[in-house]
Amino acid sequence: MINRIFIFLVISFVLTLSACEEDKSNEDIETVESRQKAAKTELINELIAPADGWRISYVPADLTGVYTVLLKFDANGQVTIQSDVSTDDQDFFNQTIPYRIDILNETKLVFETYAVFHYLFELNQATFGGEFQFVFKLKDTTNNTLVFESASDTGVPSVITFERANPGDDQLLAKDVSTMLNKMAGPTPFGIYDPGSGQFILGGEPIVQHILAPGAVNGEDLSVFFGFYTGSRIVEARFAGVGTTEEEVLEGQTVNLDREFYAYSLQNNSIIFETPVSFSVGGKAFEITSIALTDFAEATVDFCMTEPEDGVKYTGSIPGIGNITMETSLADDKGATFVPQADDFYSVNPLFISTGGNGASGEASFEEKFNDLGGFIFYYGYEVEGEPLYAMGFSLIDSEGNSRLVMRKFEPTTTVGNKITINLLDEYYFDKTPDEGDDEKIKEITDELFDGGNDLYAIDIPIDDLTVYRLFNPCNFNEIILVK
């Protein structure tokens, strides 16, 4: 009897203890849920509090410029987003989309449908650094701001500060100049990718603009060449010189600007550089802090004489320099150093030659014609048996390591500025006895490389301890990379 009573008491104690633990667990869950709900409500209240919303000077990554974004939240889960990001349909100037607050391990602001943040996130195949989910970190009571961090950065996360907007801040959105820059066009190398891996093995080039300031150098014209990455709001300073045309500038003394990158923002009708671009040319010092664009007009981009493209020519001014025009260029001061070489030649792995006008490496198609493909060889006046030879083709290497050359000749030519005209000949160079059909095979390959036009523009690719050029054909967008 006593044993039964004891067992009953033990069972009762265990059941009571279990019930207490369950009650405690339920209380904990309710406490966590209530805390999450409170945190969510608190952040929403902060977001909707300012009468004029919030202003962000958004810098998605280290090597990007600044985007101005205005946000106006309401209590019903909607946010109106205004930005200075221009696209063809101008969707991102003013949008209203849903937002939500997620709370799990952290409090996160999520923009739910496609908007300017998603667009920036997708630039450059989602490697740009944009973000559409922001982790809330703190409220800075001293500056009356909200501080967020990027949710998906793999390294040090980007910091996004929400500042209270002022009445009239929408006037800060430089929509006109953003729209003008969005029209910037012209043939430009977009790089080479390996179709096998789908990966780019060589990046492209920015759209280079020739900025012409009449009379700015002691009465002579100043020419400055900037490469614009309008998507990421970065300018690559190329070179400057005295002269009106590209040929005049390249024939004179140029000042290389080392391809330094300068981030910019857009304000009013101006491109505002975060740090000034400084240089001296013609014995005069210059500093470019901003470029005001006032208008643009349709212009013809005629780098490909057989098929000119539509482009634009900008007008504007630079403080301290004066009125300017700005239009697309393929000029490159270091590219102008691509000249005939009697004692050396250029070569490259065939992987670094694109065909088809879409940036795809042509190596696979070359191998279909030559299964013993070695390297691509470019003789630009290289002396063979005491005579300058102008020819291009391949070195072929058989299974025993024996090599031979299969090349097609072209007319002797010289570089004008950084433009080279290649007039192919139906003449061939073989250093050993060729196989049957070698001449037809190299003819087909070179005909494809120059289909539509025979002008190439030499553009320097800065690589330490190497001389590397890209020869770009603006008529078909094919590229040949050459190394010396």
Gap between the Cα atoms of 240 and 254, Å rounded: 6
Give all strands (DSSP E) within 350-451, no chain letters.
Answer: 353-354, 373-384, 387-397, 403-410, 419-421, 424-430
Q: What is the CA radius of gyration of the chain?
A: 31
User: What size, in residues, is the chain?
Assistant: 484
In one letter, which amino acid is 1?
A: M
What are the 10-residue block averages of pLDDT along the chain, 484 residues in total?
45 46 51 82 95 92 89 96 88 93 89 88 58 86 92 76 95 92 87 87 92 97 96 95 96 94 94 97 96 94 83 96 97 94 95 91 94 96 94 95 96 87 96 95 96 93 93 95 94
- 431 to each of 3, 216, 385, 456, how far by Cα in Å? 109, 54, 11, 27
Q: What is the pLDDT of residue 14?
A: 43
Gap between the Cα atoms of 323 and 318, Å rounded: 6
Q: What is the pLDDT of residue 293?
A: 96
| Segment 149-175, tens digit of pLDDT | 888 766 677 889 999 999 999 988 999
Q: What is the pLDDT of residue 56?
A: 94
CB atoms within 10 A of CB 122: 14
Residues 6+ apart with CB under 8 A from 325: 211, 212, 313, 314, 315, 316
CA-closest candidate to residue 61, choices 146, 138, 172, 152: 152
Identify the H or E element spanning 14.
Answer: helix 2-48
Task: Report yes or no: 191 and 359 within 8 Å, Cβ to Cβ.
Answer: yes
Q: What is the pLDDT of residue 155?
A: 66
pTM score, two decimals?
0.87
Identify the H or E element spanning 229.
Answer: strand 220-229
Task: Report yes or no: 379 and 407 within 8 Å, Cβ to Cβ.
Answer: yes
Q: What is the pLDDT of residue 300?
A: 86
Gap between the Cα atoms of 142 and 83, Å rounded: 27
Task: Report yes or no: 150 and 135 within 8 Å, Cβ to Cβ.
Answer: yes
Gap between the Cα atoms of 94 and 116, Å rounded: 9
- 170 to each of 81, 94, 104, how far by Cα in Å? 11, 10, 35
